[in-house]
Structure 1
Amino acid sequence: MTDLHFACVSARSEPYAAGPTLLFGLRVEEADHQPVHAVVLRCQIRIEPQARRYEPEEQERLGDLFGAPERWGGTLKPVQFAHSSVTVPGFEGVADIDLPVPCTYDTEVASGTYFRALSGGEVPLLMLFSGTVFSGPQGFHAEPIPWHKEARYRMPVGVWQRMMADYFPNSGWLRLRADCLEELRRFRSARALPSWELTVETLLSEAEEGKLS
């Protein structure tokens, strides 16, 4: 049976993608260094938030995900980050490939909220592999990749921060229901506000001053 070992050795931003995309450098090794014709590789990536420490300001920003820090013993659960797939070309022994992972800045997505809450350090990731191996020194046969194949990687937070700064400099995205957006549009129109930023700032200012009914 073909025995593949996986390791993640790097992470970087894809500079020419249509949207924010991380490239994880994977090293795939066949234990007996037998020839592998190809691998159809699938990968599920999870964030393991319990595997790092958090500064007080990070704890505050993570409140909407995990609640108050005193509850984290029961609420600090893994967060789904991404599913991705790639075809590994034929190799003997070891192959180094890039696994592309599209990312989102959507504030409704838990992984995006987690990344934005971090000031620095590393993101502890668990990569779970599955798929099909096509191998055989003589002939050609297909085997499934066992579900227990995995790799851990601590991605520097700065990789994600620099990528998002390149694609969305000094900005972010907020998704609203259609009726809520329409009410916000009316508020902006009634006050002849020139931008959405000024609209939200005015709304917050009036709320703080108690001017809203």
Structure 2
Amino acid sequence: MSELTFSVLGVEPEPYAVTPTLAAHVGVAGASDDPVHAIALRCQVRIEPSRRSYADQEEPGLLDLFGPRERWAETQRTFLWQHTAAMVPGFSGAATTALPLPCTYDFEVAASKYLHALRDGTVPLQFLFSGTVFFKGDSGFRVQQVPWHCDDHYDMPVSVWRTLIATHFPDRGWVRLEHDTIAALASYKSQRGLLNLDDAVASLLTARAETP
């Protein structure tokens, strides 16, 4: 069997994607020069929160995920970000491929909440590779599975995530509300002559802050 290794070389925003998408550039190398016909590559991407420290200003955004800071040693567990896949074209020796990482700004998704809370530093990621490798020989094709032990760790700069979100949601974000809540908020806005729902929420937050 031909042994393959996988390593994450970098992660950057996909500039021409319609929806927010990062591209993880993965290097694939073989132990020999045996030609690989193709790889149906699959990958599970996980976030490892315990592999970095956190500033005080990041703590409020992490409260829903991990509780108060004194509990983080127990509550910060590796969690799934997403599954992704790509077809790697044929090569001999080594090749590079891009894994698409679709992103969302939905605050009900744990990964989005975690990424939004970070202000600086890196996002500790783990890539768990699997899939099927196709080799072409004299008598036809032979198939080999990517071993489950193939993985890599990568620290993605937080700035990469922030650049992606700023490109697709410039100076704006979004939250999902119940229809009744939206109707009540719209009514509150109209009754007070506010310009938009953002002003209505800001007014409510100000009123709440001024309440003893």
Length-normalised TM-score, structure 2: 0.94
Q: Distance in 2 between matches of 1:49 and 1:97?
A: 26
Q: Shift of residue 210 of structure 1?
A: 4.0
The answer on whether the counterparts of 1:36 and 1:91 sit within 8 Å (CA) in structure 2 is: yes
The unaligned stretches of length 5 or more in structure 1 are none
Q: In structure 1, what is the equivalent of residue 207 of structure 2?
A: 206
Q: In structure 1, what is the equivalent of residue 160 of structure 2?
A: 159
Question: Deviation above 6 Å: which 4+ runs of structure 1?
Answer: none
Q: Does 1:177 align with 2:178?
A: yes
Q: In structure 2, what is the equivalent of residue 78 of structure 1?
A: 78
What secondary structure, in the 3-state scheme, does the structure 2 residue paired with 1:40 have?
strand
Q: Distance in 1 between matches of 2:64 and 2:208?
A: 21
C-alpha spacing 1:206/1:60, structure 2 compared with 1 (3 Å): closer
The answer on whether the counterparts of 2:185 and 2:197 sit within 8 Å (CA) in structure 1 is: no
Q: Distance in 2 between matches of 1:93 and 1:205?
A: 62
The answer on whether the counterparts of 2:46 and 2:125 sit within 8 Å (CA) in structure 1 is: yes
For residues 22-48 of structure 1, give each alpha carbon's deviation from its aligned partner in whole angstroms, at most 9, with x where no partner exists: 011100111223111000111110010
Q: In structure 2, what is the equivalent of residue 146 of structure 1?
A: 147
Q: Distance in 2 between matches of 1:177 and 1:45?
A: 31
Q: Distance in 2 between matches of 1:35 and 1:44?
A: 26
C-alpha spacing 1:209/1:54, structure 2 compared with 1 (3 Å): closer
Letter of the aligned partner of 2:113 in structure 1? T
Q: In structure 2, what is the equivalent of residue 43 of structure 1?
A: 43
Q: Which residues in structure 2 correspond to 1:49-128 (within 5 Å)?
A: 49-128=49-128
Letter of the aligned partner of 1:11 in structure 2? V
The answer on whether the counterparts of 1:14 and 1:22 sit within 8 Å (CA) in structure 2 is: yes
The answer on whether the counterparts of 1:34 and 1:137 sit within 8 Å (CA) in structure 2 is: no
What secondary structure, in the 3-state scheme, does the structure 2 residue paired with 1:179 have?
helix
Q: In structure 1, what is the equivalent of residue 191 of structure 2?
A: 190
For residues 58-83 of structure 1, give each alpha carbon's deviation from its aligned partner in whole angstroms, at most 9, with x where no partner exists: 12321111011110111001132121
Letter of the aligned partner of 2:147 in structure 1? P
The unaligned stretches of length 5 or more in structure 2 are none
RMSD over aligned Cα, in angstroms?
A: 1.5
For residues 96-150 of structure 1, give each alpha carbon's deviation from its aligned partner in whole angstroms, at most 9, with x where no partner exists: 1111111111111111111111111111100011111111443211222122211
